[in-house]
Amino acid sequence: MNAPQADIVQDKLHTSKYLNKAVGKVHRAEHRDLMKNDDETLEGNKYLFLKNPINMSEAEKESLKTLRIN
């Protein structure tokens, strides 16, 4: 199909999917590297990076803040 006048549109659902996939890939790689040195900093925090900050509890926000500093 040829539609030269059409714009390329990215919907929020697919954009979120690709971003979440990229975040997961980086998280796995970082966790793997840290575990080589017996560093469990990222243990149990997989979904913390994917969660919308608006929906985070105060404890989750503090945990994410601590991870960002380290």
Query: How does pLDDT run across 2-50, given as a tens digit for each residue?
Result: 777 877 778 889 899 999 999 999 999 999 999 999 998 888 888 888 8
**Among 46, 20, 42, CA closest to 31:** 42
What gap in Å lies between CA 27 and CA 38, rounded to an integer?
Answer: 16
Instruction: Kindly report the pTM of this predicted structure.
Output: 0.69
Helix or strand (DSSP H, E) at 67 = helix 58-69
Residues 50, 23 contacting (CB under 8 angstroms)? yes
